[in-house]
């Protein structure tokens, strides 16, 4: 996609501090660093979100993310690492090219996550699981 910034990075038309790449994925420093070592891992072929990934892309992304996460840990010794990924505007996706954030974390670093758990009864969870199983096959 001509207007996609991540496609421009993949094509080497837009400069980026690349950390890792293979045939299907690329990892580069997030220009908006939350903490030092904040990396984005993206698919090379344009896919807007998780729903558009094929199995090969999904596997390559997780392998790349795990490899880069180990590199972040060795280079920056964070106390933790958060992995963030969003699909669609309702989930706060802002760049519509599949990517995940690897964010080194430290106590008191200011990052917050609100998790409004609804805690439905076990029967409702079983109903949700059955609906998903029907679609997964």
* Structural domain boundaries enclosing 103: 5-110
The answer, yes or no, to whether residue 92 has pLDDT greater than 80, is: yes
3-state secondary structure of 74: helix
Q: What angle do CA 36, 67, 15 make, to 5 degrees?
A: 55
Q: How many domains does the chain have?
A: 1
Q: What is residue 96's DSSP assignment?
A: -
Check pLDDT > 70 for residue 2. no
Residue 124 belongs to some domain of the structure = no
Instruction: Answer whether residue 127 is part of any domain.
Output: no
Q: Please indicate whether residue 38 is annotated as part of the active site.
A: no
Other C-beta atoms lying within 10 Å of the C-beta of residue 47: 19
In whole angstroms, how far apart are CA 131 and each of 31, 83, 105, 134, 136? Answer: 40, 27, 36, 5, 9
Q: Are 105 and 78 in contact (CB under 8 A)?
A: yes
pLDDT digits (tens, 9 = 90+) for 37-82: 999 999 999 999 999 999 999 999 999 999 999 999 999 999 999 9
Mean pLDDT of 109-121: 92
| pLDDT interval class at 137 (50, 70, 90) | confident
CATH code of 58's domain:
3.30.428.10
Among 38, 99, 101, 106, the active-site one is: 99
Write down the pLDDT at residue 113: 86
């Amino acid at each position: 996609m001509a207007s996609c910034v991540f496609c421009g990075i993949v094509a080497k038309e837009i400069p980026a501090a690349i950390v890792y790449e293979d045939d299907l994925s690329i990892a580069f420093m997030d220009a908006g660093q939350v903490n030092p070592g904040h990396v984005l891992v993206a698919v090379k072929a344009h896919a807007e979100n998780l729903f558009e990934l094929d199995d090969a892309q999904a596997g390559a992304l997780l392998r790349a993310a795990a490899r880069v996460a180990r590199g972040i840990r060795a280079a920056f010794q964070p106390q933790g690492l958060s992995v963030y990924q969003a699909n669609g505007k309702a989930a706060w996706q802002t760049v519509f090219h599949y990517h995940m954030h690897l964010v080194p974390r430290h106590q008191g670093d200011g990052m917050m996550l609100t998790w409004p758990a609804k805690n439905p009864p076990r029967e409702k969870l079983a109903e949700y699981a059955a609906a998903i199983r029907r679609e997964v096959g």
